[in-house]
A and B are shown apart, each in its own frame.
Chain A
């Protein structure tokens, strides 16, 4: 299935995008994380793990480890993190992680290899070399890691405080992908969000990663930050393109100070208005595609020879909690505070604060705080939304072959709603397929939302989700 070729690159239609700038999930999972239930606990997690061992060919494993600490607060951040300069906090946390790993690993049969590992945060490089070594030792001794060439190991780095030695140390532990936070190189913007970081610092990290054999480099940007303007962001984009990362993520800043305390430090008066936000998005798409990057979907761009672009060509791209991935057929184990996992039929999320996380472990329990067991209807919709988010196309006959439904009857109300989007030129719907248009490619989540059974009451959902762009 070669669904997205450069010929159907996105078309930036400012009017259309402005009209559909509404709140909704980002579909890194379906059902989206806010729908997870507090009634889901350790027993449910264990049952899901046990069942997942009993497939004829059990899925391989993907580990996500959350490191919640940061040296200083970036004001835009909505992640679960703890600001401290006290590195010893990481030692208590590592002890907790170790206990969680000890209790979690035996739930999964030993022949299930870990083929993907991702460290996110917070700031994973809050851990120093010794602490990183302890974490990797703990993982290695409790799980069966696939051999290094067959393993994708990624880490998010804050270049401030990372030197070449640190990168070499990571390579020694088998890390081969790095994602570097930048957001914006403009000094005025950096000051407004409390994250001052030079191009040189960033380049040194990327150079070291390439020198030590990392297979893929990625840079994160954010548009819609205070004091950003198209001319200033154009300079940032040029500087990023000169660094030539394999992947670029350009997220839209969602100002939700009611939910994220750190964002209260941001002066709302300095935020770009919606017309400027749109211009920033249009500029980003035009500049990156002109520089040879392929638009993958949502906020993600990749060079054409990158695995993400290749997977999209082959129809094997997957959406997951880290955005897009080529490792869809894994059970994903979330480790650490607030970490999300997907095991068999279940989504799970750990306690969101350290107090709850440690309390569960001290009581001899797994720190699972919430979760959800997918119903048959959830499975069907998750597959559909995945196709939309990853390929922009749903082949209806192929879909019916995978699920016990008559598509046109089962999704009759949704198809009626989709007609409105079709009239606006976001999507083309025929009896054979649903396909996003080039203008709809930037609004994939609007198309996906038509099939979200949890959005029956959109008013109630709006407060939980950021806007579409």
Chain B
């Protein structure tokens, strides 16, 4: 029996942004804050809407773009989780990051107009596609859009890596969990309970740890009452202590 056919189903624990329409942006839209404070006129707003295209659903494992493909658009994740990664000639994968609802992917492809990595959906993913030539043209007429673009680019460049310093596995995992929680919280979702769509192999790869280490540390966090893990569902039981553990790593937003 399909759950979808049955009444009484409530929204998934994992957040999906509200759909926007001609006048309203999605609740998490990266450009949602651009126009209103600046008092942009309605024509410009509709122009911006016109260059946004909803895409998806992508099923787990499907590519949103591939390394080397021509760059034509940046994407905002609307629902689900996207992994960006590089695969070397021997087939070894290197996970570069995970992207949650409200976050942009593809910003690092503007020059030289090629995507420099793969973007793969980890669960059912919906995105907004912003045609970059159209966005760039509009930005020349709408200062708000230009400022927002610069802000997004700056954030993307400034993403402090969890991996750069000489940090222990405990610090890395604490920073990883706190980082995910903060990113959800910044978009109005629960900061203490979320579902990890990424496999432990992906988490391990991203943090440059062995998969067993990831599980061993998480199990210890659980035994210490810092977190509760049920399958892929994670609850931060003691965010304060986790934050303290992660204090030496700059947590990116």
Shortest B13–chain A CB gap in Å is 6
B1 CB within 8 Å of chain A: yes
Shortest B6–chain A CB gap in Å is 6
Shortest B198–chain A CB gap in Å is 8
Query: Which of A67-75, A115-123, A160-168, A406-414 is near enough to bind chain B?
Result: A406-414
**Alpha-carbon distance A376/B3, docked complex (angstroms):** 7
B93 CB within 8 Å of chain A: no
User: Using a CB-CB cutoff of 8 Å, which residues 105-154 of chain A contact chain B?
Assistant: 109-111
**Alpha-carbon distance A405/B3, docked complex (angstroms):** 10
User: Using a CB-CB cutoff of 8 Å, which residues 1-28 of chain B contact chain A?
Assistant: 1-3, 6-13
Contact A56–B7 (Cβ < 8 Å) = no
User: Using a CB-CB cutoff of 8 Å, which residues 158-209 of chain B contact chain A?
Assistant: 196, 199-201, 203
B contacts with A, residue count (CB < 8 A):
28
**Alpha-carbon distance A410/B9, docked complex (angstroms):** 7
Contact B3–A406 (Cβ < 8 Å) = no
Known: A57-B229, A375-B3. A407 touches B212 (CB 8 A): no
Question: Among the listed B7, B13, B211, B216, which residue makes an inter-chain contact with A404, where contact means beta carbons less than 8 Å apart?
Answer: B13
Shortest A111–chain B CB gap in Å is 4
**Alpha-carbon distance A207/B2, docked complex (angstroms):** 53
Shortest A318–chain B CB gap in Å is 14
**Alpha-carbon distance A406/B231, docked complex (angstroms):** 22
**Alpha-carbon distance A110/B9, docked complex (angstroms):** 38
Q: Considering the complex, give the chain B residue whose CB is closest to the CB of A400.
A: B10
Contact A55–B2 (Cβ < 8 Å) = no
Shortest A48–chain B CB gap in Å is 13
> A interface, how many residues as a size bin?
20 to 34
**Alpha-carbon distance A380/B203, docked complex (angstroms):** 28
Contact B2–A377 (Cβ < 8 Å) = yes
A54 CB within 8 Å of chain B: yes
B214 CB within 8 Å of chain A: yes
Pick from A54, A400, A406, A409 the residue with the most CB of B within 10 Å.
Answer: A54
Q: Considering the complex, give the chain A residue whose CB is closest to the CB of B196.
A: A56
User: Using a CB-CB cutoff of 8 Å, which residues 213-231 of chain B contact chain A?
Assistant: 214-216, 218-219, 222, 229, 231
Contact B8–A405 (Cβ < 8 Å) = yes
B232 CB within 8 Å of chain A: yes
Contact A404–B9 (Cβ < 8 Å) = yes
Q: Considering the complex, give the chain A residue whose CB is closest to the CB of B201.
A: A54
Contact B203–A56 (Cβ < 8 Å) = yes
**Alpha-carbon distance A58/B10, docked complex (angstroms):** 27
Known: A54-B201, A411-B8. A111 touches B13 (CB 8 A): no
Contact A56–B234 (Cβ < 8 Å) = yes
Residues of A within 8 A of B201 (CB): 53-54
Q: Considering the complex, give the chain A residue whose CB is closest to the CB of B221.
A: A57
Shortest A402–chain B CB gap in Å is 8
Q: Considering the complex, give the chain A residue whose CB is closest to the CB of B173.
A: A56
Known: A57-B219, A58-B200. A109 touches B211 (CB 8 A): yes
**Alpha-carbon distance A83/B186, docked complex (angstroms):** 66
Pick from B215, B219, B222 the residue with the most CB of A within 10 Å.
Answer: B215
**Alpha-carbon distance A404/B195, docked complex (angstroms):** 13
Residues of A within 8 A of B218 (CB): 56-57
Residues of B within 8 A of A410 (CB): 6-9
Contact A56–B10 (Cβ < 8 Å) = no
Contact B199–A54 (Cβ < 8 Å) = yes
Shortest B10–chain A CB gap in Å is 5
User: Using a CB-CB cutoff of 8 Å, which residues 27-86 of chain A contact chain B?
Assistant: 53-58
**Alpha-carbon distance A58/B201, docked complex (angstroms):** 11
Contact B212–A111 (Cβ < 8 Å) = yes
Known: A54-B200, A54-B201, A56-B196. A412 touches B216 (CB 8 A): no
Q: Considering the complex, give the chain B residue whose CB is closest to the CB of A376.
A: B3
Contact A56–B3 (Cβ < 8 Å) = no
**Alpha-carbon distance A56/B194, docked complex (angstroms):** 13
Shortest B72–chain A CB gap in Å is 33
Contact A375–B2 (Cβ < 8 Å) = yes
Question: Among the listed B8, B11, B215, which residue makes an inter-chain contact with A56, where contact means beta carbons less than 8 Å apart?
Answer: B215
**Alpha-carbon distance A453/B9, docked complex (angstroms):** 16
Pick from A57, A58, A405, A410 the residue with the most CB of B within 10 Å.
Answer: A57
Contact A57–B222 (Cβ < 8 Å) = yes
Known: A55-B232, A56-B218, A377-B3. A409 touches B8 (CB 8 A): yes
**Alpha-carbon distance A110/B229, docked complex (angstroms):** 20
Q: Considering the complex, give the chain A residue whose CB is closest to the CB of B213.
A: A111
Residues of A within 8 A of B200 (CB): 53-58
Shortest B7–chain A CB gap in Å is 5
Residues of B within 8 A of A56 (CB): 196, 200, 203, 214-215, 218, 229, 232, 234
Q: Considering the complex, give the chain A residue whose CB is closest to the CB of B211.
A: A109
Contact A377–B234 (Cβ < 8 Å) = no
**Alpha-carbon distance A376/B4, docked complex (angstroms):** 10
Q: Considering the complex, give the chain A residue whose CB is closest to the CB of B199.
A: A54
Pick from B214, B218, B231, B232 the residue with the most CB of A within 10 Å.
Answer: B231
Known: A55-B231, A57-B222, A408-B8. A375 touches B1 (CB 8 A): yes
Residues of B within 8 A of A58 (CB): 200, 215
**Alpha-carbon distance A234/B229, docked complex (angstroms):** 48
Q: Considering the complex, give the chain B residue whose CB is closest to the CB of A453.
A: B1
Residues of A within 8 A of B8 (CB): 405-412
Shortest B233–chain A CB gap in Å is 9
**Alpha-carbon distance A111/B219, docked complex (angstroms):** 12
Shortest A143–chain B CB gap in Å is 15
Residues of B within 8 A of A375 (CB): 1-3
Shortest A297–chain B CB gap in Å is 23
Contact A405–B212 (Cβ < 8 Å) = no
Known: A55-B231, A57-B222, A453-B1. A111 touches B7 (CB 8 A): no
Shortest A445–chain B CB gap in Å is 21
Interface residues of A (CB under 8 A from B): 53-58, 109-111, 375-377, 380, 400, 404-412, 453
A sample of 9 cross-chain residue pairs with beta-carbon separation below 8 angstroms, ordered by A number, consists of A53-B200, A54-B200, A56-B200, A57-B219, A58-B215, A111-B216, A377-B3, A412-B7, A412-B8
Interface residues of B (CB under 8 A from A): 1-3, 6-13, 196, 199-201, 203, 211-212, 214-216, 218-219, 222, 229, 231-232, 234
Of all A-B residue pairs in the complex, the 3 with the closest CB atoms, nearest first, are A410-B8, A409-B8, A54-B199
Other A-B contacts than A111-B212, A405-B9, 8 sampled, CB-CB below 8 A, are: A56-B200, A56-B203, A56-B214, A375-B3, A406-B9, A406-B10, A407-B8, A408-B8
